[in-house]
Amino acid sequence: MLTHPQFDPVAVSLGPLSVHWYGLMYLVAFLQFWWLGKYRLLHQPQFARAGWTVRQLDDLLFYGVLGVIVGGRVGQVLFYEPGYYLTQPLQILAIWRGGMSFHGGLLGVLVAMALYARKSARHWLEITDFIAPLVPLGLAAGRIGNFINGELWGRAADASLPWAMVFPAVDQLPRHPSQLYQAGLEGLLLFVVLWLYAGRERPRGAVSGAFLVGYGILRWLAEYFRSPDAGIFGFSHTVSMGQWLSLPMIAAGVLLIVAAGRQRA
């Protein structure tokens, strides 16, 4: 069996200033978003025809960062740990310790993109189609941050599993390193699928729909290897909170793909 290395959550200390690995992973996520977005602008002609510019990409990144941080933290508080944060409200601001909900972050980004759509006079789905392939690698970076922090550990696994891992901060049971599963599924695999799918011009809403369906299905599968949390619904032994929140994503994605198909027809 493997043992979690129990990394120091602080990557660099400069006097009173500490830079956490979790924060660095978010920085990596935002940088790759900008780099991949610039690549799309320069190498996929449909965006040049639509008048997209690098300056608009900068604005998208700014709005997206706000949506991710605010929405992700609010989602964690409301969906997963309302009782804890009700008794420890100041901990809501301690984002460097981890605790960001993807589904909350997604809602935050959707609101931020709606605000940007209004400002730029672009269709909301045109914007989400552009950013959808830029998201998965950022999700992978976030899951690696979870692994470094030793949080969101997996369910107990058979000790014969070659990559079963003990998380000493939890117990001495062999567990699935579910953070790495999610980095591979919701991060690398989803990125490859979306990047290839979005390489050709698609009807408006199709790429956004593919992202919602793809992430929702992969997250549903990955939840079977994560230690379940009861969340606000309390169904930890049947359907986890992550699975509940993925269901409307899948449904919305299917509707978008169907609507996009009708546009093409």
Q: What is the pLDDT of residue 97?
A: 65
| Tens-place pLDDT, residues 98-115 | 677 888 889 999 999 999
Residue 35: its pLDDT value, please? 97
Consult the annotation and say whether 226 binds a ligand.
Answer: no
Measured CA to CA, the distance from residue 146 to residue 97 in angstroms comes to 10
152: left (phi over 0), alpha (psi -120 to 50) or beta: left
Strand partners for 3: 166
**Cα–Cα distance for residue pair 111/128, rounded to 1 Å:** 11
* DSSP code string of 174-211: EE--HHHHHIIIIIIIHHHHHHHHTTS---TTHHHHHH
144 and 182 in contact (C-beta within 8 Å)? no
Backbone φ and ψ for 2, nearest 5 degrees, come out as -95, 160
The token pair that represents 166 in the structure block: 């003990």
Q: What is the structure's pLDDT at 9?
A: 86
Domain count, the chain: 1
The residues near 231 (Cβ < 8 Å, ≥ 6 apart) are 79, 80, 240, 241, 244
Report pLDDT for 232. Answer: 45
Tell me if 158 sits within 8 A of 152, measured CB to CB.
Answer: no
Domain range enclosing 78: 2-264
Distance, in Å, from the CA atom of 258 to the CA atom of 30, rounded to the nearest integer, reads 31
Q: What is the pLDDT along the chain (265 residues), one digit of tens a residue?
A: 899 999 998 888 887 888 888 889 999 999 999 999 999 999 999 998 899 999 999 999 999 999 998 998 888 888 777 777 888 887 777 776 667 788 888 999 999 999 999 999 999 999 999 999 999 999 999 999 999 999 889 999 999 999 999 999 899 999 999 999 999 999 999 999 999 999 999 999 999 999 999 999 999 999 999 987 654 444 455 678 888 889 999 999 999 999 999 886 6
Query: Residue 20 pairs with which residues in a beta bridge?
Result: 10
Indicate the SS3 state at residue 154. strand
- What would the pLDDT profile of 224-245 be if each residue is shown by its tens digit? 999 876 544 444 556 788 888 8
Q: How far is residue 90 from each of residues 40, 78, 95, 173, 182, measured CA to CA in Å?
A: 40, 15, 11, 33, 29
Q: Residue 151: what pLDDT?
A: 87
Sign (positive/negative) of CA torsion 215, 218, 221, 223? negative
| Res 172: pLDDT | 94
